[in-house]
């Protein structure tokens, strides 16, 4: 293979070309920098999902062991009995341990109260992590024995903020969940294993206290032995799982244990698939940038045709010319990439932290300890590699096309027809590309991005909300005998105590409040056979006084009353719908007495009688253009439930008092996400705004680039006809005829591109783009036609001012 001869002169010439063609430099560098910046930020963000790495000495060997229920198609977390078996039998995985995660109230000797993230973990957790404590000791197996004193290890940040970094904290007694614990150790800064905890207590769950596949929900972890792989561990676990299924067919016939890399247990597969799909979208976006910049480079190379021909005549080989043109493209791409990386360095932390909380599907609120919010060397390498590929894509093809014409093409003045033909194909292809791309980009903007969270009429700054949880109890599970009954009594007692507070205006409960993510169900309407069946609707279970406390207007019918709750705590088959549901589905507010049924419908599924209609009230934070909602009475067995407190004063100032009251009601309260409702709504709006701005910026870049490329190619094509127009003018052609001819040809070329682009887009419109995409396609087509025709004006005006004899001497 011959040596590629590249010198510093090539790079100096590349910089000179930027100064010689400033518009190309500005558009190209701005486009590439924005594209690279967005891609770098997303790559850094997505690495945490696709390839998470634990910042621990042997992080690559740490795994989780799960029971997968093939019948229910989900993880079965109640694996206490299996954990004991795995710990005793597995030979491929060592230091097998388990933990549960929760949020609890911590009290200090000075009476200070704060919410902490607690991990009840076996001592194996610290051995697996391999991080020594900063002060004191870690948890030991002896701490897990029943009857010994409760001990706790605290995190560095908690030690600094709550104990002022006092080394005498070792041996001090603190309260965790209402129980006294002795502090025995402090972990170093940044340590958060197993997720992002700042307090660690001993794991004391007895398998004998519950049957198989019952009891607490736990996470089992371990460490692969040296030189062993996950596949080898899975093979051994399959044998152990088969033995468990044979020994306990009633509980384990559909259970399949599996080994996974540790961080994968905390990341939903749907999120990972979404990230992979979005990555593909960013690749397409980069190709779009390259194609548009390549179109501009294509024009520049045509303009330099005579220069290239002279260099060829002086002995420069086509290979040498291609290398020079490639280096020029590389200089352009490199400057854009470096600028983009600088932008990404500032934006990565803010963007990843804001978006990550919406994609993590399990674990406490916040980011995991392994989260990386900066540009890694791998990310930078990917971007630099993309820069080289982008330079090749944007310069090599037009460079090779330019050299193929050689000296004869430029000296012979007869190449205009060949060049014009290529330019015509270029403009048709560019227009088709723009129409298809922009139609999809703009048409796929979801309605949620075009609107905000709909909570009109709500004074969100007056409300405080938190979720009440029971440790180890999952939604839809009855839990140990009496658990839900005790949960109902405790929430009723908490409501009584809150109502007695002078700063509290009202208290209510619901499964979700305005601005939150409400579950979506499908419904059918009784007696309607020709309407759309199984439409989606957002649902919520609310307390009897919910609409009064939240100030929701009643439009028709009535609200829930005590008669809607049966003696056993369940509800009657009644429902309240909002105004949008009534209008969209029935076309009238007179829907009281009609019946609907939520799917999946079975013989036992009740038909719900609509007893009232209320105003729209923030039921859909995902898509505010579809605010239809349905409310059901809150039952005594509903779990989990959120409490909403309407305050007369600042809700944030009442948070410590709320935690104190919760502690008085239950010795181990589980309050999650104690925040003013306004904070939750503002967060939802902020997430929408970030997404909106990101997509809007991306679409705007594509629009500007595409129209710039169309303008450039069209303008170039008209300029190439200067000599032809001069000859025709000398032969007596009128200016009007020349203008009609130029614009007629341009319209034909632009129209051909529009037709081709629309035909390519129609199949995509038919398989699920947003409604109105056809109108978007028409608008995009008109915009591109106008941009292309405007591109003809400036060169046309210049050509008409040139004398025919002068135009005939031009070689453009």
What is the rounded average pLDDT for all residues in the chain? 79
pLDDT band at 272 (very low <50, low <70, confident <90, very high): low
Q: What's the whole-number mean pLDDT along residues 250-256? A: 91
pLDDT band at 297 (very low <50, low <70, confident <90, very high): confident
- 340 and 30 Cβ atoms separated by less than 8 Å: no
Give the integer Cα–Cα distance in Å for 557 and 344: 55
With 80 as the cut, is the pLDDT of residue 712 above it?
Answer: no
Residue length of the chain: 812
Q: How many C-beta neighbours within 10 Å does residue 108 have? A: 16
Q: What is the pLDDT of residue 233?
A: 95
Bridge-based pairing of strands 520-525 and 595-599 is antiparallel
Q: Considering only residues 70 and 723, tell me which one the structure prediction assigns the higher pLDDT.
A: 70
Secondary-structure breakdown of the chain: helix, strand, coil percentages, each rounded to the nearest 5: 50, 15, 30
Residue with tokens 């036609």: 785
Radius of gyration of the chain (CA): 34
Residue with tokens 């919010």: 373
Q: What is the pLDDT of residue 260?
A: 92
Which region among 13-27, 231-245, 471-485 has the lowest average model confidence (pLDDT)? 471-485
- 676 and 464 Cβ atoms separated by less than 8 Å: yes
Q: What is the dihedral of CA 772, 773, 777, 778, to 10 degrees?
A: -10
pLDDT band at 454 (very low <50, low <70, confident <90, very high): low
Q: What's the whole-number mean pLDDT along residues 740-760? A: 79
Beta strands in 469-621 (DSSP E): 504-510, 520-525, 535-542, 554-557, 574-578, 595-599, 608-614
Q: What is the pLDDT of residue 611?
A: 94
With 90 as the cut, is the pLDDT of residue 140 above it?
Answer: yes
Q: Considering only residues 733 and 647, tell me which one the structure prediction assigns the higher pLDDT.
A: 647
Most confident of the following: 100-114, 501-515, 590-604, 797-811: 501-515
Percent of the chain with pLDDT over 70: 73
With 80 as the cut, is the pLDDT of residue 706 above it?
Answer: no
Dump pLDDT digits (tens) for 346-405.
Answer: 777 766 655 555 444 334 456 788 887 777 787 788 777 777 776 676 666 555 655 555
**Interior CA angle at 277 toward 272 and 280, to 5°?**
130
Q: What is the dihedral of CA 634, 577, 581, 467, to 10 degrees?
A: -30
Q: What is the pLDDT of residue 327?
A: 84
- 372 and 25 Cβ atoms separated by less than 8 Å: no
With 50 as the cut, is the pLDDT of residue 447 above it?
Answer: no
End-to-end Cα distance, the chain: 38
Q: What's the whole-number mean pLDDT along residues 632-647? A: 91
With 60 as the cut, is the pLDDT of residue 440 above it?
Answer: yes
Q: How many C-beta neighbours within 10 Å does residue 37 have? A: 23
Q: What is the pLDDT of residue 642?
A: 92
With 90 as the cut, is the pLDDT of residue 507 above it?
Answer: yes
Q: What is the pLDDT of residue 109?
A: 75
Q: What is the pLDDT of residue 280?
A: 66
Q: What is the pLDDT of residue 287?
A: 65
Q: What is the pLDDT of residue 612?
A: 93
Q: What is the pLDDT of residue 619?
A: 78
Residue with tokens 């919760």: 662
Q: Considering only residues 276 and 787, tell me which one the structure prediction assigns the higher pLDDT.
A: 787
Which region among 77-81, 492-496, 600-604 has the lowest average model confidence (pLDDT)? 600-604
Q: What's the whole-number mean pLDDT along residues 564-582? A: 91
| Cβ-proximal residues to 235 (8 Å cutoff; 6+ apart), any chain | none
Give the integer Cα–Cα distance in Å for 237 and 226: 17
Q: Considering only residues 476 and 465, tell me which one the structure prediction assigns the higher pLDDT.
A: 465
CA distances from 256 to 73, 95, 215, 267, 275 (A): 11, 21, 19, 20, 27
Smallest CA-to-CA distance from 512 within 652, 644, 695, 329 is with 644
Q: What is the pLDDT of residue 188?
A: 96
Dump pLDDT digits (tens) for 179-232.
Answer: 899 999 999 998 999 998 999 999 998 888 888 888 788 999 999 999 999 999
Which region among 289-293, 432-436, 611-615, 731-735 has the lowest average model confidence (pLDDT)? 289-293
Largest separation between any pair of C-alpha atoms in the chain: 110
């Amino acid at each position: 293979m011959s040596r590629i001869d590249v010198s510093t002169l090539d790079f100096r010439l590349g910089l000179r070309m930027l100064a010689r063609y400033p518009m190309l430099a500005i558009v190209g560098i701005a486009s590439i920098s924005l594209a690279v910046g967005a891609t770098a930020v997303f790559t850094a963000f997505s690495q945490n999902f696709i390839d998470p790495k634990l910042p621990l000495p042997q992080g690559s060997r740490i795994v989780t062991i799960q029971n997968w229920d093939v019948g229910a198609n989900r993880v079965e977390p109640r694996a206490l009995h299996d954990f004991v078996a795995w710990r005793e039998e597995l030979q491929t995985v060592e230091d097998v341990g388990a933990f549960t995660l929760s949020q609890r109230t911590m009290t200090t000797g000075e009476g200070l109260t704060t919410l902490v993230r607690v991990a009840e973990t076996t001592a194996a957790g610290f051995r697996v992590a391999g991080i020594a404590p900063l002060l004191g000791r870690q948890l030991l197996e002896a701490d897990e024995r029943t009857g010994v004193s409760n001990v706790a290890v605290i995190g560095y940040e908690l030690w600094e903020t709550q104990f002022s970094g006092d080394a005498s904290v070792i041996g001090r007694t603190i309260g965790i969940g209402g129980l006294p614990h002795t502090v025995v150790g402090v972990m170093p800064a940044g340590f958060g294993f197993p997720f992002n905890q700042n307090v660690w207590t001993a794991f004391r769950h007895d398998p004998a206290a519950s049957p198989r596949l019952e009891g607490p929900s736990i996470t089992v972890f371990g460490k692969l032995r040296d030189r062993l792989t996950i596949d080898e561990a899975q093979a051994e676990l399959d044998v152990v799982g088969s033995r468990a299924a044979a020994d306990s067919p009633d509980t384990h016939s559909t259970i399949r244990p599996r080994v996974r890399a540790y961080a994968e247990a905390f990341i939903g597969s749907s999120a990972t698939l979404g990230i992979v799909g979005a990555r593909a979208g960013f690749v397409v976006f980069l190709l779009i940038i390259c194609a548009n910049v390549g179109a501009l480079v294509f024009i520049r190379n045509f303009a330099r045709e005579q220069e290239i021909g002279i260099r060829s005549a002086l002995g420069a080989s086509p290979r040498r010319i291609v290398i020079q043109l490639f280096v020029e493209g590389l200089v352009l791409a490199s400057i854009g990439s470096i600028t983009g990386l600088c932008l990404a360095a500032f934006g990565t932390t803010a963007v990843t932290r804001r978006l990550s909380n919406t994609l993590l599907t399990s674990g406490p609120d916040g980011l995991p300890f392994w989260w990386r919010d900066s540009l890694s060397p791998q990310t930078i390498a990917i971007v630099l590699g993309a820069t080289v590929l982008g330079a090749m894509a944007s310069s090599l093809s037009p460079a090779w096309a330019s050299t193929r014409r050689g000296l004869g093409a430029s000296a012979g003045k007869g190449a205009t027809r060949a060049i014009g033909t290529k330019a015509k194909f270029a403009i048709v292809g560019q227009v088709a590309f723009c129409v298809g791309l922009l139609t999809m980009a703009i048409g796929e903007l979801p309605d949620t991005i075009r609107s905000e969270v709909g909570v009109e009429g709500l004074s969100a700054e007056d409300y405080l909300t938190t979720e009440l949880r029971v440790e180890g109890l999952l939604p839809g599970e009855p839990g140990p005998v009496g658990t839900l009954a005790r949960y109902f009594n405790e929430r009723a007692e908490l409501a009584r105590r809150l109502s007695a507070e002078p700063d509290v205006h009202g208290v209510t409960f619901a499964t979700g409040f305005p601005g939150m993510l409400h579950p979506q169900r499908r419904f059918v309407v009784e007696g309607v056979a020709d309407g759309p069946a199984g439409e989606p609707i957002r649902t919520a279970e609310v307390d009897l006084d919910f609409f009064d406390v939240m100030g929701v207007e009643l439009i028709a019918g009535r609200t829930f009353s005590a008669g809607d709750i049966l003696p056993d705590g369940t509800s009657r088959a009644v429902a309240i719908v909002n105004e949008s549901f009534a209008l969209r589905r029935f076309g009238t507010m007179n829907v009281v007495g009609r019946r609907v049924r939520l799917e999946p419908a079975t013989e036992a599924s009740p038909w719900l009688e609509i007893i009232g209609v209320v105003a729209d009230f923030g039921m859909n934070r995902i898509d505010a253009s579809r605010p239809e909602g349905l409310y059901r009475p809150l039952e005594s067995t509903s779990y989990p439930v959120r409490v909403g407190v309407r305050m007369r004063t600042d809700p944030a100032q009442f948070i410590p008092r709320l935690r104190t009251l919760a502690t008085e009601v239950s010795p181990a309260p589980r309050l999650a996400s104690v925040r003013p409702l306004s904070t939750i709504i503002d967060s939802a709006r902020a997430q929408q705004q970030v997404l909106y701005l990101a997509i809007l910026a991306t679409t705007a870049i594509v629009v500007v680039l595409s129209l710039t490329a169309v303008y450039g190619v069209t303008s170039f094509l008209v300029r190439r006809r200067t000599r032809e127009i001069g000859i025709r003018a000398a032969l007596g052609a009128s200016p009007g005829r020349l203008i009609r001819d130029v614009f007629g040809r341009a319209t034909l070329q632009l129209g051909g591109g529009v037709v081709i682009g629309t035909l390519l887009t129609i199949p995509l419109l038919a398989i699920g783009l947003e409604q109105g995409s056809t109108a978007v396609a028409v608008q995009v087509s008109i915009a591109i036609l106008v941009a292309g025709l405007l591109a003809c004006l400036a060169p046309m005006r210049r050509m008409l001012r040139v004398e025919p004899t002068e135009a005939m001497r031009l070689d453009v």
